[in-house]
Amino acid sequence: MSLQLEQNVSLKAFNSFGLNVRARLFAQAQDDAQVREALALARERQLALLVIGGGSNLLLTHDVDALVLRMASRGIRLLADSDDEVMVEAEAGEPWHPFVLWSLAQGLMGLENLSLIPGTVGAAPMQNIGAYGVELKDVFAGLTALDRETGELREFSLEQAAFGYRDSLFKREAGRWLILRVRFILRRQAALHLQYGPLRQYLQGQGIAAPTASDVSRAVCAIRSEKLPDPAVLGNAGSFFKNPVVSAALVQRLRSEHPDLVAYEQPNDQFKLAAGWLIERAGWKGFREGDAGVHQQQALVLVNYGAATGAQLLSLARRIQADIAERFAVELEIEPNVL
């Protein structure tokens, strides 16, 4: 067996909250063959198989009585190259931000607004990562996944991936599909996405009147670094709650009580509310109880100040959810996967 299996392994280094839970068995898959070995081993030992990437969208509330498989496959390749359009395929274990930087170094545009998002390429389609006006679905060309039920490989198109707001078929059927590699359509010439106000303001403040994709990437990195804590310094999983989508009638009622409510119009007479605004208005920003807390600069981010447990962070999240529901009649949905 080429798969290197370890027992009773701490997952602290493999989740961005820095939670010190332990896995009964742990292995890292470098290729498809090792993924299949892990699946066979889990079946043989009658163990659950938990697949992780960078662990940046995961809240572990207890030790994991399973085989934890970290996707560590690497490789980036060009599949098709026309005058402007390029199809790129990356292995699931490729770290996301270095992949974005690689694409920019090749003169390829499309991923710049998604700079500095933690995690791996394989995890990105799970929740249709998005930031600053761009989502993964906007550059998605397909992916290859292993069906854990049948052992067969399956190719998924954009339509079949069924992407939604921080959602996808792969997230809804998380126990079935194991993403092996993802394909992207990138371009040498494309309109930059600059509709996000702070992004435009940052570029203007730097005196950049005609930004390049690399300029946008650097601006996104600067804004993210200012707004969001570095998981290497302060344990967190980025935005902990989704921005809720609610009816126009509820927005009208809330605005009568809170004229400064942050809401963005959506199709079908709906509005997307800023979850961070709701949490801050409710007084949770900067809240800390033991080592579990809400970030002092960004109310949307729950943080581990050092020794918090996943159960403590989840308890805090539940209290915030209940308070927001009572104050605003809005249900907040947790973004990370909770185990």
Rounded to whole angstroms, the Cα distance separating 302 from 75 reads 33
Q: How many CB atoms lie within 10 A of CB 302?
A: 30
- Given 37, 91, 135, 335, the catalytic residue: 335
The answer to whether residues 161 and 179 touch, using CB atoms and an 8 Å cutoff, is no
CA 226, distance to chain mean position in Å, is 18
- Given 70, 103, 239, 281, the catalytic residue: 239
Residue 166 annotated as catalytic:
yes
What residue spans of the chain are helical by DSSP H? 32-44, 96-105, 158-161, 169-172, 197-205, 213-227, 248-257, 275-281, 310-328
List, as one string, the DSSP characters of 44-96: HTT-EEEEESSSTTEE--S-EEEEEEEE----EEEEEE-SSEEEEEEETTSBH
- Given 70, 166, 181, 281, the catalytic residue: 166
- 235-239 β-sheet, strand order: 235-239, 301-304, 292-294, 288-289
Residue 281 annotated as catalytic:
no
Residue 335 annotated as catalytic:
yes
Residues marked as catalytic: 166, 239, 335
